Structure 1
Amino acid sequence: MRQDISFDAEGTTLRGWLYLPDGATGPAPAIVMCHGYSAVKELFLDAFAEVFCDAGFCALVYDNRNLGASDGEPRQEIDPHAQIADYRHAITFARSLDEVDSDRIGVWGSSYSGAHVLVVGAIDRRVKCVVAQVPLISGHENARRLIRSDLIAPTQGMFEADREARYRGEAPAMIPVVAPEGEPCALPTADSYEWFTTSGAERAPSWINECTLRSVEMFLEYEPGTYLPWISPTPLLLVVARGDHLTVSDLAIDAYERAREPKKLEILDGGHFDAYIADFERSSTAARDWFVQHLMAGAREHAHA
């Protein structure tokens, strides 16, 4: 069963869906979920939530602030640190629900939110299990894979000009999230353009192809991989796509070595966006099984205590 929900994130209302498992006889473990860079919940998060719900979990899915159905200004600003704080607000909200076993909360994220759950898992001990799918590991390293070396200085110049314009009271500069090859955008890969302009247009009419230029600057400064060693002893599943050249796979596999036990690495065959479609069965099943292993046994013990 799915119902619309909203909750307060220290003055900003975030909106989404709550999935409740059929036939639950008491509070169930919950998975808190939101999407990646600029994406909204209609872009396949419902499919993952349904898999988790069918396995007996509550699933709390919401749109990031400034995007989709959620409130927040400036619109289309993607602030990783605000999004991390909102994961924690969502966990607090989930724990307040009668249907949720507040001692059995997992977090799931993908791409940019896959990065966020690494941080949340390290700093918030209410989280008892983490699944990070095709996550960003290092904004600095990743940007140097995506931005040609001769364009790094001009890009930084754009950030500086935008900062000074905002100081003068001008509106934040905007940039497309995706664009045809060779045109400036936040996610400059061909598969990013393909996925957002086909799946995005079909499944998520609320998705908007722009973000603040400042969002790209924050991406370059974001280092979620720093937190990997601190997630332990919370169980971590890292789902990596072998052909990922957006959040590049070798950085993620290298980062896995820095995480401590308990941990597991699942390597999908396809590219970054195949995790949602072509490799969906593998990516969703791996996540479901990890959550079952680490949250369900505890839930049964808790229920019988």
Structure 2
Amino acid sequence: MQKVEFKSGGETLSGVYIRPENASGDVPIVVMAGGWCYTKEVVMPHYAKFFHDIGCATLYFDYRNFGESSGEPRQHLDPWEQIEDYQNAFSFAETLDGIDIARSGYWGISYSGGHAIILNAIDPRAAWTISTVPVVDGFQTMRRCHGERRYAELLKVIAEDRKNRYEGKPSARLAMSPESDPSKEMSSWPFPHVYAGFMGIKANEAPLHEHWNTVESVELLLRYVVKPYAERIIETPAMVALAKADNITSADLEVEIFNAIPCADKELAVVRGVDHMSLYTNTDHLGKIAKVQADWLGDLLKRI
């Protein structure tokens, strides 16, 4: 394990590079980043172990504005800046000794699961991508998560924030998810079990996780649509892994995106007995999806 730093968008990003034990020669690398308000310690070390077991190195990192990486405003998520951070992480990986970059690719989860699909379409260096329970349509996802009435209230919060930003004020803070009753506290993801899950992860593994984001982050999420990029994936292999009946990022939207990928070399894994948040809070559930992904990647690497 090696702590590393690299540049992206004028900021210094912090990452962890791990080469599997007893590896010899050049090995593929899995470039990994997280979802909404993640730091690099959130679940990625657990997934990385499964890729080490098939002989891959891993690089996971904090986006700009998060964790140990520089950048302002803090806790601000711009999906296209995050995608650029991913690409610069890959560029950094190209400088490492002992990496078979021609067989390397991207892995993402939740918000970054959508990023992984986009990266497959726009970065010709990727040999493959793996997308885990991805956010694929910000507008549809927010409307479903909040419900019609609460979503209208969210839009008022966003409109007020835009007015304030025009007047020179910074974007306001918004809870990532509420501690208790979602009707009493506006948040990005209105699920108390998300709060409980991330607070457990913060206490045990990811002390730099902060459970809030800018209001502007949600405004940018509402513009986020993955399908036009999925339709561009012609040749590069892709896996999409879903939690059956995911009620946060919506399994039906994820299946629709998978079906939009024209590449014949693709794989859909629908894992039963898990849900979106149990992939964070239950290592056995995480392992179910991680093993499916590692098995697919291991088989793929034998033929590319």
User: Fold match, TM over 0.5?
Assistant: yes
Counterpart AA for 2:102: D
**Which residue does the alignment assign to 2:297?**
291
The letter for the 1-side match of 2:52 is C
Alpha-carbon displacement from aligned partner over 1:195-254 (angstroms, at most 9, x marks no partner): 112223322110011110001111111002321121231111110011311101111122
**Aligned equivalent of 2:276:** 272
Which segment is superposed worse, 269-278 or 94-103? Answer: 269-278
Q: Assess if the C-alpha contact under 8 Å between 2:154 and 2:186 holds in 1.
A: no
More off after superposition, 252-261 vs 112-121: 252-261
SS at match of 1:127: coil
Structure 1 position 140, deviation (Å): 1.2
Name whichever of 232-241 and 182-191 sits farther off.
182-191
Which residue is equivalent to 1:138?
A: 137
**What amino acid does structure 1 have at the position aligned with 2:124?**
R
Give aligned pairs, total: 297
Shift of 1:45: 0.7
Take 1:275 and 1:263, find their aligned partners in 2: how far apart are those partners? 22
Partner secondary structure for residue 60 of structure 1: strand
Could you tell me which residue of structure 1 aligns to residue 121 of structure 2? Answer: 122
Q: Give the corresponding residue for 1:96.
A: 95
2:229 — aligned with what? 227
State the distance in 1 between where 2:25 and 2:174 align: 47
**Could you say which residue in structure 1 is the equivalent of 2:252?**
250
Unaligned runs of 5+ in 1: 299-305
Q: 1:296 to 1:6 in 2, by over 3 A?
A: farther
Q: Which runs of 5+ in 2 are unaligned?
A: none
How far apart are 1:275 and its partner, in Å? 2.5
Give the whole-Å Cα distance in 1 for the aligned partners of 2:193 and 2:130: 23
Contact preservation (8 Å) 1:55, 1:288? yes
Distance 2:234 2:18 in 1: 28
* Alignment match, 2:31: 32
Which aligned segments of 4 or more residues in structure 1 are displaced greater than 6 angstroms? none
TM-score scaled to structure 2, two decimals?
Answer: 0.93
Q: Matched residues in 2 for 1:246 and 1:208: separation?
A: 20
Measured at CA, do residues 191 and 259 of structure 1 come closer, stay the same or move farther in structure 2, by a change above 3 Å?
farther
> Following the alignment from structure 1 to structure 2, what is the Cα–Cα distance between the partners of residues 289 and 164?
50
Is 1:214 the counterpart of 2:219? The answer is no
What amino acid is aligned across from residue 83 of structure 1 in structure 2?
Answer: Q
Tell me, in whole angstroms, the C-alpha distance in 2 between the residues paired with 1:77 and 1:217: 11
Is the 1:175–1:212 contact (alpha carbons within 8 Å) kept by the matching residues of 2? yes
For 1:296 and 1:167, locate their aligned partners in 2 and report how far apart those are by CA, in whole Å. 54
Paired with 2:9 and 2:81, the residues of 1 have a C-alpha distance of 11
1:57-136 aligned within 5 A: 57-136=56-135
Aligned counterparts of 1:187 and 1:14: Cα–Cα separation in 2: 26
Partner SS, residue 283 of structure 1: helix
Taking the aligned partners of 2:249 and 2:16, their CA distance within structure 1 comes to 27
Equivalent in the alignment of 1:303:
none
Change (3 A) 1:22 1:202: closer
- 2:207 is matched with 205
Aligned-partner residue type, residue 278 of structure 2: D
| CA distance in structure 1 between the partners assigned to 2:99 and 2:303 by the alignment | 15
Q: Give percent identity, aligned residues only.
A: 32
The separation in 2 between residues aligned to 1:55 and 1:111, in whole angstroms, is 23
Distance in 2 between residues matched to 1:155 and 1:280, nearest whole Å = 31
CA contact (8 A) 1:48 1:284 kept: yes
Task: Please give the per-residue CA displacement for 1:106-160, whole angstroms capped at 9, x wherever unaligned.
Answer: 1100000101001001111100111100001111111110122123333222212
Q: Which moved more, 1:208-217 or 1:224-233?
A: 224-233
Q: Distance in 1 between matches of 2:163 and 2:80?
A: 22
1:30-70 per-residue CA deviation (whole Å, 9 max, x = no partner) reads 10001110011111211111221122111011011111111
Contact residue 268 and residue 275 of structure 1 kept, 8 A: no
Task: Name the aligned partner's letter for residue 120 of structure 1.
Answer: L
SS of match in other structure, 1:74: coil
Q: In the alignment, what sits opposite 2:195?
A: 193
